[in-house]
Every structure is written in C-alpha cells, then in structure tokens.
C-alpha cells in the first residue's frame, strides 16, 4: 500500500517531446495518465509488486494551471516545486509507505528517512505499459 509522490516537472522534463512549448498542457497530460494508478498493483522499482493507494503530484510554474483529474491530488507549489515536494513528503511519510518519483539528487537528499525513491523512467515505463494494455 504505497502513495506515489510525483515531481511532475521532473517527470515531464525527462522526455524531450516538446513539453517546453506548453508546460501546462504537458503537466495536464501527465496528471491524466497518473489517474490510472490508484488501486492498481504495479511493478515496483525493486522488481517486486506494489499497490498504489494514491497519487500526489507537485506542479509548479505554468504547470500550476493544469486541471486535477479525479484520483490525483495536485499540490500547486506557490514558489519552489522542490520546497513544496519536500514539505509534502514530510507530511505524508509518517502515515504510509511513500514512493517519491524524481531524478533530482538535491531533492532526494531532502526527503524524510524511509521515503523510497524512483526515477522518472520507472514511472513512464509503468504508464506506457498501462497505456498499451488499454483498448484504443
């Protein structure tokens, strides 16, 4: 039973697909894809399985305008996205298993003890697999 805490800017920025031309749109597309995760059994970063019980995504800058789909709690950073994500991780860590998705080493160092970390590549592979499995 794991909550995913997603550094949306870091995940969006990990694929050079033109996201910089429409940051809010890119964030909205990611948030929509994240809505498929709660309640699912997923391949865990360590090779095992995990059940995603919730998704919290931190958005910043222009991406703050992205709508929040059902199933995703969106934390809209008033300033630094890293500060907002670190604060959110601190709030969430004590009550449940937490998996933070970011490649930002500086941010990883600010996470509470016990918070697991996965890179954007892991999350995007999971989302791509779900997308391929869904009928068109």
- Vertex 91: Cα angle to 8 and 1 (nearest 5): 75
Do residues 82 and 110 touch, judged by C-beta distance below 8 A?
A: yes
- For 100-119, b/e burial (b = at least 16 CB within 10 A) is bbbbbeebeeebeeebebbb
Is the confidence at residue 61, as pLDDT, over 70? yes
Distance CA 128, CA 30 (A): 11
Distance CA 77, CA 57 (A): 10
pLDDT digits (tens, 9 = 90+) for 29-51: 999 999 999 999 999 999 999 99
pLDDT of residue 89: 95
Confidence class of residue 136 from pLDDT cuts 50, 70 and 90?
low
% pLDDT > 70, the chain: 99
Model confidence pTM above 0.75: yes
Q: What is the mean pLDDT of residues 106-134?
A: 92
% pLDDT > 90, the chain: 81
Q: What is the mean pLDDT of residues 115-121?
A: 95
At residue 97, the 3 state secondary structure works out as strand
């Amino acid at each position: 039973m794991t909550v995913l805490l997603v550094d949306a800017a870091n995940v969006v920025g990990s694929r050079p697909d033109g996201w910089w031309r429409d940051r809010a749109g890119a964030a909205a597309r990611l948030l929509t894809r994240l809505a498929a995760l709660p309640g699912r059994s997923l391949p865990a970063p360590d090779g095992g399985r995990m059940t995603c019980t919730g998704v919290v995504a931190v958005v910043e800058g222009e991406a703050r305008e992205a709508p929040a789909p059902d199933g995703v709690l969106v934390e809209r950073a008033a300033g630094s996205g890293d500060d907002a994500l670190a604060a959110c991780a601190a709030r969430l860590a004590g009550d449940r298993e937490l998996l933070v998705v970011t490649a930002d080493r500086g941010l990883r160092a600010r996470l509470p003890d016990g918070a697991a970390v996965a890179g954007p590549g892991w999350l995007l592979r999971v989302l791509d697999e779900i997308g391929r499995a869904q009928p068109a």
